[in-house]
Structure 1
Amino acid sequence: MAQPGFEELVEDFEFLEDWEDRYRMVIELGRDMPPLEEALKVPATKVDGCASQVWLHPRIESGRFHFEGDSDAMIVRGLIAVLRRLYDGLSLAEIVAVDARAELGRLGLNEHLSAQRSNGLRAMIERIRGIAAEGA
């Protein structure tokens, strides 16, 4: 069910020997992601439950979910980039059907993130799923 970009990421992760290399790749994904416009960093787009500052700006176009995001922490920016590969371009019904825990588990993220990062990632996923459920 995952997007082709996410499948590519899974394949890339399989070639990396250890978690440190994977961690660096997540950070690079965040660096490569364009920053969110300052005007969109408002309370309505801020994600509660994250240790760092996180903003997600969703758009629904032609029944497809798209979003931009940003964070003040590089690893979190990378996690946003991972979530974009997982969710961006899906229909609202597909968003709700994605088993994010299982998909992210394919990357090994479930075992290697701190409790705070895991909580923040969960908060971002809940925000995305909530937006999709409201729009459906």
Structure 2
Amino acid sequence: MTLPADAVLALDTFQKTASWEQRARLLMQWGDRLPALSDVDKVEANRVHGCESQVWLVGALQDGHWQFSASSDARLIRGLVALLLARVNGLSASELQQVDLPEWFNQLGLSRQLSSSRSNGLNAVLQRMRSLSDV
């Protein structure tokens, strides 16, 4: 499966980064670049359950490809969600079903830093994306 352009950029950037401190800084920068969700989108119906932090997710199907927007009240989670969006935006519903979340964060060199609660939260976000795409 071909990676979206943002995912290729993320991989390239993170794989050139040697230390965890640099990766953490990059992670924050990716999160800071996420477009803000409007208050209209930050409603209970768009909140992802299963995350310790607040995460909101909205998705739209455009020409057979999914575009998601998300936000979180936690800066680190915002960065992780931004990297997840880089990986999934532009995919079809069937491609979305094939995304391997642990492998993606492993390729980025971030899997060791994912606590089980963060991992569970990101899985909840991905599951929510998949359920939106099943409609």
CA deviations over 1:9-32 (Å, ceiling 9, x no partner) = 111111111112111111111111
Identify unmatched segments of 5+ residues in structure 1: none
**Structure 2 match to 1:69:** 70
Separation in 1, partners of 2:34, 2:7 = 15
Separation in 2, partners of 1:127, 1:44 = 11
TM-score with structure 2 length normalisation?
0.92
1:81 counterpart = 2:73: no
Q: In structure 2, the residue corresponding to 1:59 is in which secondary structure?
A: strand
**Structure 2 match to 1:7:** 8
1:127 offset after TM fit, Å? 1.1
**Structure 1 match to 2:102:** 101
Counterpart AA for 1:68: S
1:4 offset after TM fit, Å? 2.0
How many residue pairs match? The answer is: 134
1:57 counterpart = 2:52: no
**Structure 1 match to 2:93:** 92
Counterpart AA for 1:130: S
Name the structure with the higher helix share: 1
1:66 offset after TM fit, Å? 0.5
Separation in 2, partners of 1:104, 1:76 = 13
Alpha-carbon RMSD: 1.2
**Structure 1 match to 2:112:** 111
**Structure 1 match to 2:24:** 23
Separation in 2, partners of 1:103, 1:73 = 21
CA deviations over 1:70-109 (Å, ceiling 9, x no partner) = 1100111111211111000111111112222212210122
Identity of aligned residues (%): 37
1:122 counterpart = 2:118: no
TM-score with structure 1 length normalisation?
0.92
